[in-house]
Chains A and B, each alone.
Chain A
Amino acid sequence: MEETSEKLLKLTIDGIETEAREGETILQVAERLLIDIPTLCHWKFVKPYGACRICTVEVEVHGKTRMVPACTYNVRDGIVVQTRSEEVIKHRKMLLELMLARHSQVDVVRKLAHEYGVDTTRFEEMPSEQCINCGLCVRVCAEVVGANALTFVKRGTERYVSTPFEGESETCIACGACAYVCPTGHIKVEDIRGRKYVVSELALGPTTPIHIPFAAAIPGIPVIDAQSCIHMQTGGCGICSKVCEPDAIDYEMQDTFEEMEVGSIILATGFKTFDPARAEQYGYGRLDNVITSLEFEHMSHASGVTGGALVKEDGTEPKSVAILHCIGSRDKNFNEYCSRVCCMYSLKMAHLIREKIPDADIYELYIDMRCPGSGYEEFYNRLLEEGVHFIRGKGVEVSSAPTLATAERAEGKKLYVRCEDTLLGVPRELPVDMVILSVGLEPTADAEEIARVFKITSKADGFFMEKHPKLAPVDTLSDGIFIAGCAQGPKDIPDSVAQGAAAAAAAMSLIDAGEVALEPITSVVDEEVCTGCKTCMVVCPFGAISYDEEKHISVINDVLCKACGCCVAACPSGAITQRGFDDAQIEAELAALLMS
């Protein structure tokens, strides 16, 4: 400890001899010694205020005793402090009696008074007020948040807390700090007025500005959301840096861009789920209790917002759940392809619901059950045995009231799912408590941009295209760039892992080989004929053609050339030929075909 230069003050608290630094209060010293002094208006992150006086202690200085509030009294050398002397208890009892007269219904006051054996007051009882005028909210807002949105109004017995001019504060950032510190629960954040003060992983449930992005984030390090952090907004607060013992909080940290030189790149940029609000008939975002499969995952997760409990919007357990397959998949209006994973995860959801709510009616509305894979069909059979209702027919509409005369009726607030049961050959309408939309997989929003940056190709559905579906499934047309996972097309976890490993191996083999094999079919420039017009440079999609400033001709880089032959056809002077596909060869083919 390098505190030797600092002058230490000697004092005695309740008979314990101890030392304190200059500027420390009696309360701070007592806290260190685990001596309990009651407080109402104190919070260690705001300046002491001495409003409630409940922390009153007896101090003996140079033989004179005085009653002082422990929170504001700075330690002096040689003082003797009594925190539970008869005189102190008497003082506190009186204070509590006075408080009871005005705040008889405030829990924190009543509880404290009861501890001191004060259950009635000798003073005239006034109508109980919730606010005890401790001023914590005012001080937090001013000192910690820096918003100054709260203040005391009037004086003496008429004093109360309000916003300036009692109007809607313009400086309030709706951080909720006042409500957090309020010891009586008088302040509540009722209306956030569109000001977001929490961030969330999904639409479900709040988190604080400091949070770990998601349950299995790597690295599992908390981040600060700059949009909702009070310090980032007002420069105030900073409490996290005060409580963080390893001093790991860095407000100055900014996003950085690092450039790396690499030999090969694996693109595993993943997917996004289909936004079911695009298919209005399912009522997502419009009807309560219509959720997506990902939101269900979020809810059923043990560390999720509901702690793994399945609940409806009103907090009760759903007794019937419909799982609608192929939302946004196998649909000519959205994506024509099958998203591959939904059948299996829909079965898993049904299994989880059955596990958590054993008597629930669970419906799976499917077009076809697609369960190829190791153990998948067996899992499907298990679900059949678990009593899940499988209806072959896509759910076509979710509404809050039945539309078919033949709809199965039900009591209470229900959702009605319309479908055609193709095995029975009848249209049906199922009353359920909750609808889960098994949304399909789509290319990420920036997939096109990624394809452009890395000069790779995409398929019609927007997923990246492999060089050859069978012979080069992780390669792309750009050498050294590999693709894996759902960036290449919808696939489940085992397939993604397998493809990821394959892409890693392919990238490794390039490193291992130490040299790059090139396509033999490249274009070449005849230096004698090239006029240096640069037409070829404009058309080359791979940037493989450069201009030789000395010779005034175009030069083709054999490594970058992918042999499309575009430049050959564009060359106005016929200076470029493509190996294996030169003009003479193609013309000879033509002549041979047209001989007869």
Chain B
Amino acid sequence: MADITAAEKSPANTAEGIVPFEPKIIGFLCWWCTYAASDMAGTSRLKYPPNVSIIRVMCSSRVDPSFVMRAFAEGADGVLIGGCHPGQCHYISGNYKTVARISLLKKMLSQFGVEDERLRLEWISAGEIHKYAKVVTDMTEKVRKLGPLNWRKNFEPK
């Protein structure tokens, strides 16, 4: 990642002018909590950036770390994983396994030079719609500042 220059991180200059960088974030959301929160945030007409694309999973513990790696590899700038609060997992202890896996994955990603903010694990219960909106807004802004990850481009054979 050392060859990413400051120019590449800033918004792309094209002939048409400056196109602002819109981060692409993949959200793996637990069906029982964060997914429901995102649903309700929508029906409650909360305003938050549209940058998170959601993949519904039954439990955050279904998120294989390889999904995160693949998401980055295929062009995602950030990955959000949403699960139930500790002690509230619908599957008793799935979220604890997620914590273990994601902390290990974060260690690995930092060795690859991927910034910590690009992978985020949040506990958002079905009722915490404002927290969901806040997390999405905050993460989008942080990843926007970091700029594109550009893994796909960097790994493509030159």
Contacts and interface: CB of A to CB of B under 8 A. Distances in A.
A565 B93 contact: no
B21 interface: no
B71 A460 contact: no
A586 B67 contact: yes
Interface stretch (A17-25, A216-224, A384-392, A566-574): A566-574
B87 A458 contact: yes
Interface string B58-69: 110111111100
A74 interface: no
Contact of A457 (B24, B76, B88): B88
A589 interface: yes
Contact of A541 (B70, B71, B93): B93
A303 B74 CA distance: 75
B55 A564 contact: no
B57 interface: yes
A591 B55 CA distance: 11
Interface in A332-382: none
A590 B58 contact: no
A460 B63 contact: no
A569 B65 CA distance: 8
| Band of interface residues on B | 20 to 34
A451 to B, nearest CB: 8
B101 A569 contact: yes
B147 interface: no
Interface in B62-91: 62-67, 70-71, 74-76, 85, 87-91
Contacts of B76: 590, 594
Contacts, number: 88
A173 interface: no
Contacts of A460: 85, 87-88, 125
A541 B64 contact: no
Contact of B58 (A459, A541, A564, A591): A564
Contact of B71 (A455, A565, A568, A594): A594
| Band of interface residues on A | 20 to 34
Nearest to B75: A594
Contacts of A160: none
Nearest to A457: B90
A539 interface: yes
Contact of A566 (B53, B65, B87, B97): B97
B71 A590 contact: yes
A559 to B, nearest CB: 16
A262 to B, nearest CB: 21
A541 B26 contact: no
Contacts of A225: none
A587 interface: yes
Contact of B59 (A565, A583, A586, A590): A565
25 contacts: A457-B92, A459-B88, A460-B88, A460-B125, A539-B61, A539-B97, A562-B91, A564-B59, A565-B59, A565-B61, A566-B62, A566-B97, A568-B64, A569-B63, A581-B62, A586-B55, A586-B57, A590-B26, A590-B55, A590-B71, A590-B74, A591-B74, A594-B24, A594-B74, A596-B24
Given A586-B55, A590-B70, 6 more contacts: A460-B125, A541-B94, A563-B58, A565-B57, A590-B71, A594-B24
